[in-house]
Chain A
Amino acid sequence: MSNPDRELLQGTLDLLILKAVSATPMHAWGLTQRIREMSREVLSVNPGSLYPALERLQDRGWIEPRWGVTENNRRAKFYQLTASGRKRLEVETEAWRRLVVGVNAVLRTT
């Protein structure tokens, strides 16, 4: 993972997922929908990136899976934030804000 682009992207995706499941547990497809809605259709996540990210976040212990039932009574795996995941979300959010402020400041300089 030496590629800085990828690292940024991944970090961002992790942040988005943590944020998306922070309010209520979500299943994988729901997550993609939620991220699209929240980003006003700007961001979309394809399964190829989503699943590895979900695995990674589980490994770190930030989210955990639980089998549940969808509104249409279908069995699905829901991901929910753990306590350490919530802390992580705060840290990541703060880091992101600072990054945005910093990058914007740079871009505004003439």
Chain B
Amino acid sequence: MGWRHVVSRRLRALFRRDAVEREMEEELALHYELAVEERIRGGEAPRLARANALQEFRGADGAREMYRDARGTGWVERLAQDGRYAVRTLVATPAFTIVIIATLALGIGANSAVFSVVHAVLLRELPYEAPDRLAMVWETDRDSGTEREGASIPDYFDFRARARSFVSLAAFRPVPMNRTGDAAPERVWSARVTREFLTTLGVTPVLGRDFVEAEAAPGGPPVVLVSTRYWRTRLGAEPAVLGRTLRLDDSLFTIVGVLPERFHFPDDEVELWAIDQMTPTSGERFRHHISVVGRLASTASVRSAQQEMDGVARALEEEYPQSNTARGVYVEPLEQVLLGDVRPALLLLLGAVGVVLLIACVNAANLLLARRAARAREIAVRAALGAGRGRLVQQLVVESGVIALAAATVGLLLAQLGLRALVAIAPRSLPRAEEIAVDGTVLMVTLGVSMAVALVFGLLPAAGGQQTTPAQTLSSAGSRTGTGSREHTRLRNLLVVAEIAMAVLLVAGAGLLLRSFWTIRGVNPGFEPENTLAVRYQLPPSRYPQSFSNYPAGWERTFAFQRDVLERVRAVPGVRRAALAFNDPLTPGFTNSFLIEGREPEAAQGQAEVPTRPVSAGYFAAAGVPLLAGRDFAESDAVGDPPVLIINQAMADRYFAGTDPLGHRIRFWGTTREIVGVVGNERFDGLAAEAPPAMYPPIAQAPATLGTLLVRTAGDPHALLPAVREAIWSVDRDLAPFDVRTMEEAIDASLAQQRFLALLLAAFGGVALVLALVGVYGVIAYSVAQRGREIGIRLALGATSRRVRRAVIVEGARMAVVGGAIGIVLALGAGRLVRSQLYGVSAADPLTLAAAAGLLIAIAILGSAIPAWRASAMAPGEVLRGS
């Protein structure tokens, strides 16, 4: 007995429902028959007896329902009953059902897809222990305004010794390494990291161990940690990998550990982390080539750490004025460093796709509203028969819930497909792209969103029908339309206006991004990207000694490589020109401060740093950068020859305005160089940034172990790739060329984020247009159907069909104009969100906004045209008879 008894009774009621119901019917039937017999025995005529007994049973159903209520499983059954009812009515109107589910599925699917991206990239915790306690420690340069520069090795050791705000500080520097020994040389993105690397990040290897102290000491055994991905794809996923050696840049590194699957640092591309056995004397204080990441002490915050580091930096300025004057420190949360660049773009996308969902909701609400207006009588009858208001609303919500669930299912399938396309066109720089998937969280969020959506579009129509009583609805039995229709009409018009406004917002956003994309694509990069192949290489220090302190002593092999590789590549048939540069066009490379001879006082006030790109003779011709004055480098500008320099037009304008820069001498890297030429401006940091002042020293007079081989070809650059690669290998068999691409591809890649955003917003805008078209069409068609009598009368009284057409179209256009105006206001308000993503076009660009609104008005007219034509073609007599 007790609760167990109750539970078993209810369970039986739930799961053996048919049996229980049959018994119930049998019981009631007997009751009824016995009651009738009793009445007949009492002298009533059989027919009357039956009627009276029925009266007593008024609504045997009612009794049964109460019966179920008493059992306490009522709500479950009512829900199931409503669900069955909803499915039945939805199946009965397939066209309606398909349109509404497709509309919502589109909205939900697009949201799930974009949310999957946002979730994987922005929301998921970074794969480190307590990632919010991690911060990058940059050095800054007040002279040049640089905020995020690397640290120097001695500075790093001083930070470690002095800072109390960090439990540990690790240094790292990403380097491409050549892996040789097995097959063709392979370039592996790696990082040299200090002993504290894993302890700072709070990560333990899934296989093997962390570095140990002995391995961090200079001359200790070189060891390396590998990523799970590298272990799987390159090392055969063998557990016995520990202790194996990898030949990297001609040194043998022993694998001591495999890091967890999700672990990435600092980006997705790095596969190996090799021990850096640095000491305070392994680098000069003026070379800022390492990055520092630290874990905050439990007592410190980013702000307090910043304060402490300001003090440390000031002390270093005093102690080492030569190298550290104007140097500060910037403590930046790691999360901001890793994700800060993509966050605004992704949030913009999430916002846009949210608007798409809202539009879909509004459309669905409109469709439901039309349907419920048609079902007003049915609902009124049920209300008259005693169904409570709550019960009716519940039924409506259950119906929209069923629709939303179906839409969520279809939407998730769409999301799966869309996600694949999304990831395919996503910029390569998107962090954690490989983790993007429709996972449990996305599923739950989609479900949650769908239910919220169901409530919104389910309750909107319910709210519209509130004012009418069943009696009103039923008494207007003659006309086909319920009396609720006036409120409904107003609500539906309102919804369409809202929908158009939101569509204008999206289309305007898409328009702005597209215009911005086209503008940026039309930018002259300052070089000729056609038929140009770029191949990067990194000369390993083992075979190419690279001591910076006594440059150029010991750099002979590097110079020889540069000479030989150019000679071999130029000999390849089909190669028109070849040249070397420290870094290829469009990538900023490094910047340098400098001193113009005879103008030292200027420099004392703080001199800006400018991009400095060492290039070989023939670079400007190969890249297609015009020589404006003076001469190009020649083979005679080699190491040991008088140092020379070429500057760009921007530098000439900024520092030598009104004078001839040729013959002036500029000092940097401890050498004074004479300006021998001025070249046109080429863009240095992608297409969006204006060309900065820049300097080009000859690569033969600069320490450069990293380089780009630029090859201008007669025909398809790709076809020459094998020959070019062979030419490189003929000089150095163990060198792995990487980042092979044409300059046109490089330009495309530099625009990847803009293209991604523009494409997606254009797609969302397109969806919004289609939905708006459907929305306007639906409302106008419904309004025409409703006013069939009125239109018929007008036609019968002699209105021309043209006038009828015009009246209908004006109705649609009026909504569009109001919606368009609101949309422009919305777009102006949202400008802040999109501004950071625009180039060469204002967020309030009147042309784009007006075009968006105009487009929607055109769409609205199109949407009203079909119903208008249908209305004007009605035969008046038929319409009047019909009702």
Do A and B pair up? The answer is yes
A-side residues, CB < 8 A to B, are 27-30, 33, 46-48, 51-53, 55-56, 58-59, 61, 70, 74-77, 84
Q: How far is the CB of A47 from chain B (nearest CB, A)?
A: 5
The dominant DSSP class at the B interface is helix
The dominant DSSP class at the A interface is helix
Out of A28, A48, A53, name the residue touching B27 (CB < 8 Å).
A28
B residues less than 8 Å from A59 (CB atoms): 5-6, 9, 70-72
A41 to B35, CA, bound (A): 16
Q: Is B2 an interface residue (CB 8 A)?
A: yes
A35 to B28, CA, bound (A): 18
B residues less than 8 Å from A61 (CB atoms): 1-2, 5-6
A residues less than 8 Å from B62 (CB atoms): 48
Out of A29, A51, A58, name the residue touching B63 (CB < 8 Å).
A51
Assess the B26–A29 pair: CB atoms within 8 A.
no
A52 to B68, CA, bound (A): 8
Q: How far is the CB of A103 from chain B (nearest CB, A)?
A: 28
Assess the A46–B56 pair: CB atoms within 8 A.
yes
Assess the A29–B6 pair: CB atoms within 8 A.
no
Q: Is B668 an interface residue (CB 8 A)?
A: no
Q: Is B689 an interface residue (CB 8 A)?
A: no
Out of B9, B26, B38, name the residue touching A58 (CB < 8 Å).
B9
Q: How far is the CB of A83 from chain B (nearest CB, A)?
A: 9
B-side residues, CB < 8 A to A, are 1-2, 5-6, 9, 23, 26-28, 30-31, 34-35, 38, 56-58, 60, 62-64, 66-67, 69-72
Q: How far is the CB of A90 from chain B (nearest CB, A)?
A: 17
Closest to A64 in B: B5
Assess the B38–A56 pair: CB atoms within 8 A.
no
A51 to B23, CA, bound (A): 13
A70 to B58, CA, bound (A): 25
Assess the A47–B63 pair: CB atoms within 8 A.
yes
A residues less than 8 Å from B57 (CB atoms): 47
A48 to B62, CA, bound (A): 7
Assess the A29–B70 pair: CB atoms within 8 A.
no
B residues less than 8 Å from A51 (CB atoms): 63-64, 66-67, 70
Count of A-B residue pairs with CB < 8 Å: 58
Contacts A56-B70, A59-B9, A77-B23; A29 near B1 (Cβ below 8 A): no
Assess the A29–B34 pair: CB atoms within 8 A.
yes
A residues less than 8 Å from B28 (CB atoms): 47
A74 to B70, CA, bound (A): 27
**6 chain-A/chain-B pairs, Cβ below 8 angstroms:** A29-B34, A29-B35, A30-B34, A47-B28, A48-B63, A59-B72
A residues less than 8 Å from B72 (CB atoms): 59
A28 to B31, CA, bound (A): 7
Out of B2, B35, B58, B67, name the residue touching A55 (CB < 8 Å).
B67
A104 to B212, CA, bound (A): 95
- Contacts A59-B72, A76-B30 aside, 6 further interface pairs with beta carbons under 8 A come to A29-B35, A47-B31, A51-B66, A61-B5, A61-B6, A75-B30
Contacts A29-B35, A47-B57, A59-B9; A74 near B1 (Cβ below 8 A): no
A58 to B10, CA, bound (A): 11
Assess the A76–B27 pair: CB atoms within 8 A.
yes
A76 to B30, CA, bound (A): 7
Q: How far is the CB of A65 from chain B (nearest CB, A)?
A: 9
B residues less than 8 Å from A28 (CB atoms): 27, 30-31
A5 to B408, CA, bound (A): 48
A100 to B253, CA, bound (A): 99
A55 to B71, CA, bound (A): 6
A residues less than 8 Å from B69 (CB atoms): 52
Closest to B24 in A: A51
Contacts A58-B9, A61-B5, A84-B1; A27 near B70 (Cβ below 8 A): no
A51 to B56, CA, bound (A): 14
A residues less than 8 Å from B23 (CB atoms): 77
A70 to B72, CA, bound (A): 30
Assess the B30–A27 pair: CB atoms within 8 A.
yes
B residues less than 8 Å from A58 (CB atoms): 9
Q: How far is the CB of B4 from chain A (nearest CB, A)?
A: 10
A76 to B24, CA, bound (A): 11
Q: How far is the CB of B441 from chain A (nearest CB, A)?
A: 41
B residues less than 8 Å from A56 (CB atoms): 70
Closest to A77 in B: B27
Most buried by B among A47, A58, A59: A47
A residues less than 8 Å from B64 (CB atoms): 51
A85 to B323, CA, bound (A): 97
Closest 7 CB pairs of A and B: A52-B70, A55-B70, A29-B34, A61-B1, A51-B67, A29-B31, A47-B63
A67 to B2, CA, bound (A): 23
A75 to B29, CA, bound (A): 11
B residues less than 8 Å from A55 (CB atoms): 67, 70-71
A55 to B63, CA, bound (A): 12
Q: How far is the CB of B214 from chain A (nearest CB, A)?
A: 76
Closest to B67 in A: A51
Contacts A46-B56, A52-B70; A74 near B30 (Cβ below 8 A): yes
Closest to A31 in B: B31
Assess the B1–A48 pair: CB atoms within 8 A.
no
A63 to B9, CA, bound (A): 13
A28 to B24, CA, bound (A): 11
Closest to A62 in B: B1
A58 to B28, CA, bound (A): 17
Q: How far is the CB of A68 from chain B (nearest CB, A)?
A: 12
A residues less than 8 Å from B67 (CB atoms): 51-52, 55
Assess the A52–B66 pair: CB atoms within 8 A.
yes
Closest to B6 in A: A59
Closest to A83 in B: B1
A105 to B57, CA, bound (A): 39
B residues less than 8 Å from A52 (CB atoms): 66-67, 69-70
A58 to B71, CA, bound (A): 9
Q: How far is the CB of B626 from chain A (nearest CB, A)?
A: 91
A residues less than 8 Å from B60 (CB atoms): 47
Assess the A33–B38 pair: CB atoms within 8 A.
yes
A75 to B38, CA, bound (A): 18
A33 to B38, CA, bound (A): 10
Closest to B30 in A: A76
Q: How far is the CB of A36 from chain B (nearest CB, A)?
A: 10
A residues less than 8 Å from B30 (CB atoms): 27-29, 70, 74-76
Assess the B5–A48 pair: CB atoms within 8 A.
no
Q: How far is the CB of A86 from chain B (nearest CB, A)?
A: 13
Q: How far is the CB of B5 from chain A (nearest CB, A)?
A: 5
Assess the B71–A75 pair: CB atoms within 8 A.
no
A101 to B368, CA, bound (A): 61
A residues less than 8 Å from B58 (CB atoms): 48
A47 to B38, CA, bound (A): 15
A77 to B28, CA, bound (A): 10
B residues less than 8 Å from A84 (CB atoms): 1
Closest to A48 in B: B63
Assess the A75–B26 pair: CB atoms within 8 A.
yes
A30 to B28, CA, bound (A): 12
Q: How far is the CB of A31 from chain B (nearest CB, A)?
A: 10
Q: How far is the CB of B634 from chain A (nearest CB, A)?
A: 102
Contacts A28-B27, A61-B5; A48 near B35 (Cβ below 8 A): no
Q: How far is the CB of B563 from chain A (nearest CB, A)?
A: 97
A56 to B34, CA, bound (A): 24
Most buried by A among B6, B34, B64, B69: B34
Most buried by A among B2, B26, B30, B72: B30
A77 to B57, CA, bound (A): 18
Q: How far is the CB of B604 from chain A (nearest CB, A)?
A: 88
B residues less than 8 Å from A75 (CB atoms): 26, 30
A46 to B32, CA, bound (A): 11
Closest to A59 in B: B6
Q: How far is the CB of B193 from chain A (nearest CB, A)?
A: 69
A residues less than 8 Å from B6 (CB atoms): 59, 61
A51 to B35, CA, bound (A): 15
Q: How far is the CB of A94 from chain B (nearest CB, A)?
A: 22
Closest to B71 in A: A55
A33 to B2, CA, bound (A): 30
Closest to A44 in B: B56
